[in-house]
């Protein structure tokens, strides 16, 4: 590269010397190439500044900010690369860095600019060690050494007398068609020799010449060593013919030297030739089989749909499976192999299942966060927003537990005063659960008595009537209630006796419905077995509530502690319908299926089995 050194101290400098580049390539091979090149430029840069400061100041320490160094290097390197290059030179011992002394800089004692001192002697010593004595002598003991014997200024090129050890074949006959211009012309050789002195550095000139050669001159032990030259200015950079066999013959009274190349160095071996590429099937994977991979992926999809922060369950599950294929550990996979519900590792104390908070806790937050003019839906949205902050949700959960404990203490005090029933705050009461059938029946009854649908001309009335046509029991109840309600409206002066038939109709269900409930034993369990099993597979709070229900109703439920499975009481063999009902929940189906599989394997006499599609059957 070129260098522009002016008289001004802030002159732009961009100078790279080949010997410095070779030195850093050998000493700092693991460093980045950009950092090494910057360090090479910094050596010439600091050397120039030392020479400038020696003429003007008694110290050689260079006070230079990094931004000025970057400008002087013409912006070729960033500040991070320059800082890394300075650290590299300091580690190698070529550079000393110190902070600006406050005693010497009284004007600004808080200046954080560093000062640099380049150890030129250490650099020169490292260069001498880099080039071995044998190689150094080879550079200085060129076959064509002195200018007066090199044939540069002579009319015809001549070879030094020391090259008499070369094997010269004078009897070789070269055909007239193969002239000297085909092998090496004297004119071309003279032009190459005359172009060498234009280079400023003799080492660079030698390397430029050696690029065209194929073998090293050190491999010719027959060459005699000449006397060492005292200075590098006497070094001759005439191209050296490096060959094993030199054929010399005279054709048309001209001397022609033919180079015969017999030893060629092999090309460097590529890294990919020695390292075999492993196929994807040979890589380390955390799955034991392909079936386990697919089942685990489906379980992750179900979990991803319940996690609010997951925008794409498919991408989220695929990323986890890809990490397991690469050998990364995954707690979800450990939970899957332990037949546990996925996400238990991330489940909080206030969640009955991963991502599903306790119902009364949400009601408690809704009551506390509801403000004037806020609807219930807005309060619920605010409650779930608070649950996203784990620290805030934990504090609210502790407050919720203290509230429950306080209500229990108040109830104990009220019992001592003779109160027979306890008062429970509304936020602690369970919400009413409405099934889809109940909601459809209520909507049908509302639509039947809606005055908007009775207005002619509405196009949607026919659609609504056809949609509710299947709800026959609901329509009968609606018609009966419509009859009883229409009578007081149409007859304003009706007597009380006219309402007697309506009262009888209203009292008929009250008389007929309690008849089956008059028996001592209940006809249905308090909770379906599938709901209890879902609570057992959920969080700690839901599991504890389910266990209390099972313990309070031993006539309906039996608990298998080993499998954590709820079974109907009074049956030696569970029915196929009961086991299938446990598999209706899609979220816990995979976990429950494993538990049922273990139960079936322990009792083969029952005759239950799973087919290839995962369906449960029995003999």
Please provide the DSSP assignment of 154-205 as one string. SSS----GGGGGS-EESS----TTS-HHHH--HHHHHHHHHHGGGSS-HHHH
Contacting residues for 335 by C-beta, under 8 A, at least 6 apart: 341, 342, 343, 344, 345
Is position 12 within any domain?
A: no
Of the pLDDT bands very low, low, confident and very high (cuts 50, 70, 90), residue 252 is very low
- Which residue has 């003999």 as its token pair? 619
- So what's the pLDDT on residue 428? 78
Mean pLDDT, rounded, of the chain:
68
Last residue of a domain, one of 490, 516, 542: 516
Residue 427 burial by CB count (10 A; 0-12/13-18/19+): exposed, middle or buried? middle
Average pLDDT in the 275-279 region? 40
Q: Residue 523: inside a domain, yes or no?
A: no
pLDDT in tens, 141-191: 544 444 444 444 444 444 444 444 444 444 444 444 444 444 444 455 555
pLDDT given for residue 98 in this prediction: 82
Min mean pLDDT across 25-39, 131-145, 204-218, 547-561 is at 204-218
DSSP code per residue over 349-365: TTEEETTEE-HHHHHHH
Share of the chain above pLDDT 70, in %: 58
Task: Identify whether residues 496 and 605 lie together within a single domain.
Answer: no
Our count of domains for the chain comes to 6
Both 378 and 318 in a single domain?
no
Across 250-264, 498-512, 574-588, the highest mean pLDDT is recorded for 574-588
Residue in this structure with the two tokens 């034993």, named with its chain if needed: 521
- The answer to whether 152 and 159 have CB atoms below 8 angstroms apart is no
Domain assignment of residue 169, given as a range: 139-260
Please indicate, yes or no, whether residues 362 and 388 belong to a single structural domain of this protein.
yes
The residue-averaged pLDDT of 462-472 equals: 52
Residue 613's pLDDT is 77
**Residues 6+ positions from 390 with CB-CB distance below 8 Å:** 348
One domain for residues 540 and 612: yes
**Can you give the C-alpha Rg of the chain in angstroms?**
48
122 and 24 fall within a common domain: yes
On whether both 311 and 372 belong to a single domain, the answer is: no
CA–CA separation, 199 vs 244, rounded Å?
29
Task: Give 581's Cβ-side CA count (13 Å radius).
Answer: 16
Asked if residue 271 is part of any domain, the answer here is: no
Per the CB < 8 A criterion, the answer to whether 530 and 574 are in contact is no
Helical H segments across 307-457, by residue range: 313-325, 331-337, 359-369, 376-387, 390-416, 436-448
Residues 366, 385: one domain?
A: yes
Which of the listed residues 407, 428, 449 is the one where a domain comes to its end?
A: 428
| pLDDT tens string 436-461 | 888 888 887 887 777 766 655 544 55
Let me know whether 418 and 445 are in one domain: no
The reply to whether 288 falls in a domain is no
Which band of pLDDT confidence, cut at 50, 70 and 90, is reported for residue 13? low
User: Same structural domain for residues 476 and 557?
Assistant: no
DSSP 458-506: -THHHHHHHHTTT-HHHHHHHHHHHHHHHHHHH-TT--GGGGHHHHHHH
Q: Is residue 275 part of a domain?
A: no
Query: What are the tokens at 565?
Result: 């499975």
Are both 40 and 110 inside the same structural domain? yes
What's the residue count for the chain? 619
* pLDDT band per the 50, 70, 90 thresholds, residue 112: low
User: Which pLDDT score is estimated for 306?
Assistant: 78
pLDDT of residue 466: 55
Same domain, 537 and 494: no
- Is residue 606 within 8 A of residue 619, CB to CB? The reply is no
The residue among 395, 428, 461 that closes a domain is 428
Buried residues in 96-112 as b, exposed as e (16+ CB within 10 A): eeeebeeeeeeeeeeee
pLDDT digits (tens, 9 = 90+) for 323-362: 888 878 888 888 888 887 787 777 788 887 777 788 888 8
Give the pLDDT score at 514: 46
Q: Is position 287 within any domain? A: no
Residue 363 lies in a domain: yes
Asked whether the predicted pLDDT for residue 569 surpasses 60, the reply is: yes
581 and 562 belong to one structural domain:
yes
């Amino acid at each position: 590269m070129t260098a522009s050194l002016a008289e001004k101290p802030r002159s732009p400098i961009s100078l790279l010397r080949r010997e410095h580049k070779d030195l850093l390539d050998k000493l700092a091979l693991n460093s980045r190439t950009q950092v090494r090149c910057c360090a090479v430029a910094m050596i010439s840069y600091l050397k120039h500044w030392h020479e400038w400061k020696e003429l003007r100041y008694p110290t050689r320490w260079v006070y230079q900010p990094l931004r000025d160094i970057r400008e002087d290097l013409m912006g070729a390197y960033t500040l991070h690369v320059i800082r890394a290059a300075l650290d590299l030179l300091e580690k190698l011992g070529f550079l000393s860095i110190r902070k600006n002394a406050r005693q010497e800089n009284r004007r600004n004692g808080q200046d954080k600019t560093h000062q640099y001192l380049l150890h030129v002697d250490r650099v020169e010593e490292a260069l001498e060690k880099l080039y071995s004595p044998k190689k150094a002598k080879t550079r200085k003991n060129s076959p064509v050494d002195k200018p007066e014997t090199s044939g540069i200024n002579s009319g015809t090129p001549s070879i030094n007398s020391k090259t008499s050890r070369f094997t010269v074949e004078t009897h070789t006959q070269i055909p007239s068609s193969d002239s000297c211009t085909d092998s090496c012309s004297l004119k071309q050789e003279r032009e190459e020799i005359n172009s060498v002195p234009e280079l400023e550095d003799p080492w660079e000139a030698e390397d430029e010449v050696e690029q065209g050669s194929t073998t090293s001159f050190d491999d010719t032990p027959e060459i005699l060593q000449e006397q060492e030259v005292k200075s590098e200015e006497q070094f001759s950079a005439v191209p050296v013919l490096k060959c094993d066999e030199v054929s010399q013959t005279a054709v048309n009274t001209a001397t022609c030297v033919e180079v015969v190349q017999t030893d060629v160095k092999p090309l460097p071996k590529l890294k990919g030739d020695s390292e075999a590429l492993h196929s994807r099937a040979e890589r380390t994977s955390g799955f034991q089989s392909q079936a386990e991979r697919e089942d685990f992926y489906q379980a992750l999809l179900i979990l991803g749909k319940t996690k609010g922060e997951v925008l794409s369950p498919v991408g989220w599950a695929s990323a986890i499976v890809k990490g397991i294929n690469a050998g990364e550990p995954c707690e979800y996979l450990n939970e899957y192999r332990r037949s546990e519900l996925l996400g238990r590792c991330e489940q909080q104390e206030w969640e009955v299942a991963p991502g599903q908070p306790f119902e009364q806790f949400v009601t408690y937050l809704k009551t506390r966060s509801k403000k004037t003019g806020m609807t219930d839906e807005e309060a619920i949205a605010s409650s779930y927003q608070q649950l996203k902050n784990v620290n805030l949700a934990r504090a609210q959960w502790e407050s919720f537990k203290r509230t429950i404990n306080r209500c229990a203490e108040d109830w104990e005090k009220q019992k001592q005063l003779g109160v027979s029933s306890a008062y429970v705050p509304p936020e602690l009461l369970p919400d009413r659960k409405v099934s889809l059938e109940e909601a459809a029946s209520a909507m049908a009854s509302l639509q039947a008595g809606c005055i908007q649908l009775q207005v002619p001309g509405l196009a949607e009335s026919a659609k609504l009537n056809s949609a509710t046509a299947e709800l026959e029991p609901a329509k009968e109840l609606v018609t009966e209630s419509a009859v009883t309600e229409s009578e007081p409206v149409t007859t304003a002066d009706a007597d009380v006796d006219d309402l007697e038939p309506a009262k009888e109709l209203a009292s008929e269900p009250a008389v007929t419905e309690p008849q089956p409930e008059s028996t001592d034993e209940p006809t249905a369990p308090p909770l379906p077995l599938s709901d209890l099993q879902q609570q057992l597979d959920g969080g700690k709070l839901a599991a504890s509530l389910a266990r209390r229900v099972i313990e309070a109703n031993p006539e309906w439920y039996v608990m298998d502690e080993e499998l954590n499975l709820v079974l109907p009481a009074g049956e030696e063999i569970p029915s196929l319908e009961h086991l299938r009902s446990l598999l209706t929940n899609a979220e816990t189906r995979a976990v429950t299926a494993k538990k049922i599989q273990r139960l079936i394997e322990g009792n083969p006499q029952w005759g239950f089995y799973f087919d290839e599609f995962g369906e449960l059957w029995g003999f």
